Chains A and B, each alone.
Chain A
């Protein structure tokens, strides 16, 4: 049977990791969304060099493992004199990596808004960015909520790579508990449950938003 005394005895340790996982997830979520929107707009803006930068970002970042990106920030940057702790390095990597997927989802959403919307907005004198902000993005968001929700759930789970670069997250403290107690199976079961505590409400939240937006007009 699963030994609950491990959870009870090391609850504070778990909680410390849980807090940091939440923090990394929230920062990663906000960061990846902002970067994702910027990259998506760059990919479809009518300015060629922006398209190139956006495409390069997506194709480069999403096609390398997250762990490699995390290593780049954790052990690569110190080589040029920039020292980041595991938490910061991992969270930046998480945001940058997830942004490439979010950018693709948002781009697809933007392209699914009928062309006439941009034409109507532009012909009334709005600049490209004003039209994007007031007319296109609010409509794209509705289409984009489900795929972005998936990316956010992935982000929470992917934050476990912080454990590998001393990022003080759930996974990291799970390793510590495990090495103290010489128990592996039970320790990581509890780690998994803590992740579920985050991802299941997130999953339901996304579904709720989806339903609400579907009704909005």
Chain B
């Protein structure tokens, strides 16, 4: 479904992504971990072209993401994204946040979009907040709204860019629960995170990145029990023993 073929990316002289080869299949939950600055967020953001690639080939559902003839807006409808800082629209209510893209992009009627929005708000557990503004919600609630906003477009793929990193510890659980439920329903998910518990429980595959390279990939159980790369071993020991 998502295929990186020898993808490289440079910021000027800085080589951010080095020869990335990766295939993510439909229904797979892939967790990307690695130290900060390793390129994991950049790689994720290439998938919906928030970042462009310098060379190589990146396809989603067979469509070349960086091709000039690709209608990027059409491609993005199919890829939901959840950000570290939620990025809810502060001037719109929760309901308006969720219905904006369905009405503007998919041309759904307001009633239809609101019905769908309420369905997903129920799903993330905060239907009572429909008419609140983002500033009136806790971080965990905001992130759940952001997930509902992504889902309302009925995408086939959901990207999560450190979705719990900006949250208070006690709010991380509520967001992870929503993500776990989503994973179990068979959503294709690519998740950049440091939440090892989440990775162990729902990931089909762990990708370990360092300095722009994919150093290791494997099933979570194998990876955690017995990382092959020295760099991965050091990284794991640091984040697990603090």
Q: Which residues of A are interface residues toward B (Cβ below 8 A)?
A: 114, 116-117, 119-127, 130, 134-135, 138-139, 142, 216-217
Contacts and interface: CB of A to CB of B under 8 A. Distances in A.
Given A117-B89, A138-B91, A139-B91, A125 B101 contact: yes
Contacts of A126: 73, 100-101, 104-105
B81 A120 contact: yes
A125 B87 contact: no
Contact of B50 (A117, A119, A139, A142): A119
Given A116-B87, A138-B91, A125 B133 contact: no
Closest 7 CB pairs of A and B: A124-B101, A120-B87, A116-B87, A125-B77, A125-B105, A123-B81, A125-B76
A1 B172 CA distance: 76
A114 B88 CA distance: 11
Contact of A123 (B48, B88, B90, B133): B48
30 contacts: A116-B85, A117-B87, A117-B89, A119-B50, A119-B87, A120-B81, A120-B146, A121-B89, A121-B101, A123-B80, A123-B81, A124-B80, A124-B81, A124-B100, A124-B150, A124-B153, A125-B73, A125-B101, A126-B73, A126-B100, A126-B104, A126-B105, A130-B104, A134-B100, A134-B104, A135-B100, A139-B89, A139-B90, A217-B90, A217-B91
A134 B105 CA distance: 12
Interface residues on B, range: 20 to 34
A125 B150 CA distance: 11
A124 B113 CA distance: 14
B76 A124 contact: yes
Where chain A touches its partner, the secondary structure class is helix
Among the interface residues A121, A125, A134, A217, which one has the most CB atoms of the partner chain B within 10 A? Answer: A125
A120 B76 contact: no
A122 B50 contact: yes
Given A117-B89, A120-B81, A125 B50 contact: no
Interface string B134-151: 010000000000100110
A126 B83 CA distance: 17
B76 A216 contact: no
A127 B87 CA distance: 17
A139 B76 CA distance: 23
Given A124-B149, A125-B77, 15 more contacts: A116-B85, A117-B87, A120-B89, A122-B76, A123-B80, A124-B105, A125-B74, A125-B101, A134-B104, A135-B89, A138-B91, A139-B89, A217-B90, A217-B91, A217-B133
B29 interface: no
B83 A116 contact: yes
A149 B76 CA distance: 38
Nearest to B101: A124
Contacts of A217: 90-91, 133, 135
A120 B83 CA distance: 8
B79 interface: yes
Among the interface residues B80, B88, B104, which one has the most CB atoms of the partner chain A within 10 A? Answer: B104
Contacts of B105: 124-126, 130
Contacts of A114: 85, 87
